[in-house]
Structure 1
Amino acid sequence: MAEDLKLSRGDKPERKWFENPFTWWQGTSLAWNTKIPIWTGSGEAEGLSELFVDNLGSLLGTTGAAVGHIGYGIVGTLGAFAAVGMSDGSSYATAIAQEWEKVYFSRNIPGCAFALLLGNLYYAWQCGRLGNKENREDVTAQPYGINTTGVYITLYAINLEALISAGFIYLPGPLASDADIRQAAINAADHAWKVSVAANFLLGIFEMLGAFVGESIRKAAPVAAFYAPMVGVGFVYLAFVPMLNIAMEPMVCLIPLLIVFNGFFGGVRYHVFRKLTIPIGILALLAAAIAGWSGGCAREAGTLGATKYGYTLQYFDSTKVTCTGTSQAEAQRAWDTYAFQDNVLSGAVFVGLGGFSEIGSFITTLFLVGVVGFVGTMSCVESASAAGDDYPMAETMIVDGAGTCIGALFGSFYSTTVYIGHPIHKNLGAKRGYSLINGILYFILLLSGVFAALYQSLPECASGSILVFVGLILGRQAFEETPARHYPALLLSLFPYLCNWAKLGNANEGIQMMGQAGGLMFSVVITWLFCLCIDRDFLKATILSFAAIWLSLFGFFASHNAPNDSVPPTEGDEKIGFYGKEDHEYNNGWRWAVSWSLATVFFAAHVGLQRAGIIQGPYAEKGSEDANKIET
């Protein structure tokens, strides 16, 4: 359970001004340590599911930004490009978005496969070497994956700019044929990809430079400064942003979030057979997928609800549109276009470095992102050290940068890094198998071309629930490691990350949900419920969820009050009243009422499971230790 996580240790090693990556190991053998097992049981499975879903959340979110927002949302509607029409009714703008999507799934995503495989393999080996150095077996590998923060920054600061610039470079004339327009779009997407890949390679070099200054910074700066990136990224990008998506579609996303609350914070284990349990992350994914494909976010095309949410994908054969990850037509198209095709990595290996001549204007941005990257790595290594595994700072920075460079050589413009979640994996009982297997799974998934179909088959909040857990736990560790007098400084560190998120313009309808009536009611209810999940007090959670049904229907909780007297109907003032399902489909009070009804049944079932002795009873503050014991 969350309160049992040991995120800190008191015997931290003394820091030096410079760390030599070649002498740090003091002659420790380079051989694979066979004493540390690859698989440790349910703990390894939980660690694997958490890391896999963590990477999946990053890939799903950044894919939505790169393909959906930048490709089709910005460049695909740009006036200067849209003015160049084609005979089928589409335009140069649409063609660029389509070709950018092809480049993304056939070059960038497969390129990531090599970076993830090699990085995860290295850190699994490094884990064994640390065990040899310290003569112990209770070591856990550092988690590794896509650098979410760095990728979001480079997508909008570099990739978007490169794509727009390339669009103008290859802009067809007014008399261009359809074939000429299509070829111009291919050239524009290819040009932008080369610039992005070359920039990513240089970013990896900048990340490696941190090896020469990182230890000095760690020795000189206060603890709060190291944990600022952890609490900032954890709170904003891993917890807050996914929570917005959850609040936006409660019928799809609330139950997966509650599963995460119960499993990771409350210590509930869902048994399949005897001691065999289903990993919490996998269960959350399944719950979201079932709800999404059952029509949880489907709306009638053309209604205010559909247009405000930006839904355009057809829901089966109906007249409704639905959210990304729940459209049969799009999932089938993605499968037919990308899965097991022979164009994977076509024209990608080493070719992307041809964009170096075009990245001069991006060097300052790349340097700053590189600094952000190695400062983040410092936080990760410090976090692992606090949890008991003191890994070499300089070596980790070099490996992170090298992983980014290797990905670029194979066509990827996504940077990679160790993740800020080592203590979580350690306390789940994972060692190094979770890292190794994660790398192998992603190597297969991303090289096969299946990821495009997976992206169109999972609602975004499916992985978002896991990210909320990771973000909140990392925030907790930051406060535990920081002296109490520096707490205000940690809170201050959130501001730049909130500003960065706001600058990217990723606001969504979840803000309307969580901010209703000043956010007071949402804050009280969700915090209250979270505490009950942590304490496994499912009877009170059932009662609270039942009460929230009526709060939602009468406009107290997360309701859009959209009147029908305007055409199209618009969002009205916040006011108390009865708000059931309306034709404009923008009102979400009834959706929350349905969601809280499901939550009521969900928690009531847990009460029954507790009374039957299948899952643990409520947390006892001073009572029986058996009630607090985690099942493994």
Structure 2
Amino acid sequence: MTATPHRRWFVAGDINGFFGLVVDNLSILGFISAALIGIFQFPADVVFTRMFPGTALGVLVGNLIYTAMARRLAQRSGRDDVTAMPLGLDAPTSIGMALLVLGPAFVAFKQQGMDEQAAATATWQLGMASLMVMGTLKLVLSFFGDAITRAVPRAALLGSIGGAALALLGFLPLIETLRSPVVGFVTFGLLMYVLVAKGKLPIRLPGVLLAFIVGTVLYYGLGMAGLGTPGFQLPNPAPLRFTLPLPTLGFVDGLRYTVPYLPLLLPFGLLMVVGGINVSESARAAGDDYRTRDVLLAEAVSTLVAGLCGGVAQTTPYIGQPAYKHMGARMGYTLLTGLFIGLGGVFGYVSGLVQWLPIAVLAPIIVYVGMDITVQAFHESPRRHALAVALAFLPSIAYLLVIKVGNPAWIDPARFAALYSGVDSHGLPDLATIVTLGNGFIITAMIWSSALVAMIDQRFRRAAAILLIGAVLTLFGFIHSVDPRGSIYLPWHLEGLARAIMGQFAGAYVALALLLGLLSLQRHADPAGTRVEPDAAD
């Protein structure tokens, strides 16, 4: 009888993975607090002592589940190189929750006559209820993950997430990196040295940790010497407070507040299901065959736990699993991260770190993860489908622009609405086109890429069917929503320019589908060059 080999819980690469994953989560928490407190003047004590503990608990629960899944996969496969799926707070929807749901709701509650604390409490309840709504949706849809994976080509799965990685995890954090150019550029360069170039260090420290130490010392050293970026000042963090994130029925009171925001919340939840499917495929391409349903169920459960205990940002498996594998991380890094973030929410040191760690030091690791996933999208897809991967990147660029031009700190909402209207001889307004293209960008990317893959493979009727699905989704705003906030709707409720834009985009899908359907009636060649009859390709 062969003895079961002993598998270590921790390896050296888990240290780098731990710091990378912790920084990802701290960065998102930092963005949430900066948006709520800085833009909307939300009370800091509610953010740090009510919202953050439950949010951090969701990260703990999800990472514990993924650690257990990795250990089970290692035992089942007999491999020692299994890397756990990283889990954390989702950047796009967390930013969207802060800027499009929580912040505006807080302002609206105050306009209704609530005092600041009452408005903050109602907003917190709305945040909890929002997580319960999104978590329930993810729980139901998680059972269909494997079927979706079988139906969608790898180029579409990896390409759509690669575009999100390049635009949202690459470019947006790069802007934050270069807001303090010396600090950010040095930190980023040092990360490239240790993670990409595999350069040697003069001291025995994890490369990611050393980069953070150097960047933080530079930031505060230059700032206190008067050589840093203008406006430098030392933070004044709130004192540490012990806050146990116990289950609460506060979300029940918040459910009535979610009704106006359902057109936003449901797409947010759906986006995470699609993203979970994509990251499962990404991990599978890297060699770790996790069952898609299990990955989705874990993120749904962790989101529900967070919402039940006061959290306001949903958890998701990160698209960087192959990047963590390249760092040498296995299963210990998710366990360490879950404990660090979860306990940090209880004891308050996560809030302290969020206020002390410079964004210019936190952001570069996210840039690296985004770059790594972008490269994987090309490497792990069939070479003939490379153009379909590239096509999948384009809607992400539109969404990137939407995040910036729709940010109240950049442009007044009334001005944004004005820019969204008006037609000239060249066609639809530029901003309206950009916003409509960006809304639902991941699903749009999957549809475009899947249709192009089908065309490359000479399956023109399949491509036409995919485009018709795109037309239906366009009618209801799941993709190409004509609402600047990206909400879904019933098409017969639209009027004026909004209805015209919806009709134009839906009509575009139908027109191309009809054209491909007619072209499919011809005799054509398969990718190998063999002449086939019209029906044989499909």
TM over 0.5: yes
Question: SS of 2:404's equivalent?
Answer: coil
Amino acid paired to 2:52: I
- Counterpart CA distance in 1 for 2:246 and 2:86 is 31
TM alignment of 1:496-535, pairs within 5 A: 496-505=395-404
TM alignment of 1:192-207, pairs within 5 A: 192-207=123-138
> Contact 1:210–1:394 (CA<8 Å) still a contact in 2?
no
Question: SS of 1:417's equivalent?
Answer: strand
- Deviation string 1:146-176 (CA, Å, 9 cap, x unpaired) is 11122122222321232122121225xxxxx
TM-score scaled to structure 2, two decimals?
Answer: 0.70
1:359 aligns with 2:258: yes
Judged with a 3 Å threshold, the aligned counterparts in structure 2 of structure 1 residues 489 and 45 are, in CA distance, closer, same or farther, namely same
1:227 aligns with 2:158: yes
Count of aligned pairs between the two proteins: 405
- Counterpart CA distance in 1 for 2:329 and 2:177 is 28
Judged with a 3 Å threshold, the aligned counterparts in structure 2 of structure 1 residues 106 and 223 are, in CA distance, closer, same or farther, namely same
- Identify the match of residue 426 of structure 1 among 293, 309, 325: 325
Question: SS of 2:356's equivalent?
Answer: coil
Structure 2 unaligned regions, length at least 5: 411-538
Judged with a 3 Å threshold, the aligned counterparts in structure 2 of structure 1 residues 443 and 367 are, in CA distance, closer, same or farther, namely same
1:60 aligns with 2:30: yes
CA shift at 1:409, angstroms?
A: 0.9
Task: Look up the match of 2:176.
Answer: 245
CA shift at 1:467, angstroms?
A: 0.9
Task: Look up the match of 1:37.
Answer: 8
- Identify the match of residue 167 of structure 2 among 219, 236, 253: 236
1:372 aligns with 2:274: no
CA shift at 1:191, angstroms?
A: 0.8
- Counterpart CA distance in 1 for 2:251 and 2:118 is 13
Amino acid paired to 1:481: E
1:107 aligns with 2:6: no
Task: Look up the match of 2:496.
Answer: none
CA shift at 1:245, angstroms?
A: 2.1
TM alignment of 1:428-507, pairs within 5 A: 428-505=327-404
Greater helix content: 2
Question: SS of 1:202's equivalent?
Answer: helix
- Counterpart CA distance in 2 for 1:295 and 1:246 is 16
Task: Look up the match of 2:468.
Answer: none
- Which portions of structure 1, spanning 4 or more consecutive aligned residues, are displaced by more than 6 angstroms? 297-301
Task: Look up the match of 1:262.
Answer: 193
Q: Name the % identity.
A: 26
TM alignment of 1:187-336, pairs within 5 A: 187-272=118-203, 277-296=204-223, 321-322=231-232, 327-328=233-234, 330-331=235-236, 334-336=237-239
- Counterpart CA distance in 1 for 2:112 and 2:294 is 41
> Contact 1:119–1:399 (CA<8 Å) still a contact in 2?
yes
Judged with a 3 Å threshold, the aligned counterparts in structure 2 of structure 1 residues 347 and 117 are, in CA distance, closer, same or farther, namely closer
> Contact 1:162–1:196 (CA<8 Å) still a contact in 2?
no
- Counterpart CA distance in 2 for 1:236 and 1:298 is 35
- Deviation string 1:188-217 (CA, Å, 9 cap, x unpaired) is 111111112101111111122232322222
Structure 1 unaligned regions, length at least 5: 1-32, 73-96, 172-183, 307-320, 512-632
> Contact 1:156–1:504 (CA<8 Å) still a contact in 2?
no
- Deviation string 1:446-501 (CA, Å, 9 cap, x unpaired) is 21112232222121011111111111000000111223333333333333322223
- Counterpart CA distance in 2 for 1:256 and 1:375 is 32
- Counterpart CA distance in 2 for 1:103 and 1:501 is 29
CA shift at 1:34, angstroms?
A: 8.2
CA shift at 1:417, angstroms?
A: 1.1
- Counterpart CA distance in 2 for 1:358 and 1:382 is 36
CA shift at 1:120, angstroms?
A: 1.1
TM alignment of 1:36-185, pairs within 5 A: 36-40=7-11, 42-69=12-39, 71-72=40-41, 97=42, 99=43, 101-170=44-113, 184-185=115-116
- Counterpart CA distance in 1 for 2:367 and 2:267 is 27
- Counterpart CA distance in 2 for 1:346 and 1:427 is 35
- Counterpart CA distance in 1 for 2:374 and 2:214 is 26
Judged with a 3 Å threshold, the aligned counterparts in structure 2 of structure 1 residues 436 and 470 are, in CA distance, closer, same or farther, namely same
Judged with a 3 Å threshold, the aligned counterparts in structure 2 of structure 1 residues 288 and 420 are, in CA distance, closer, same or farther, namely same
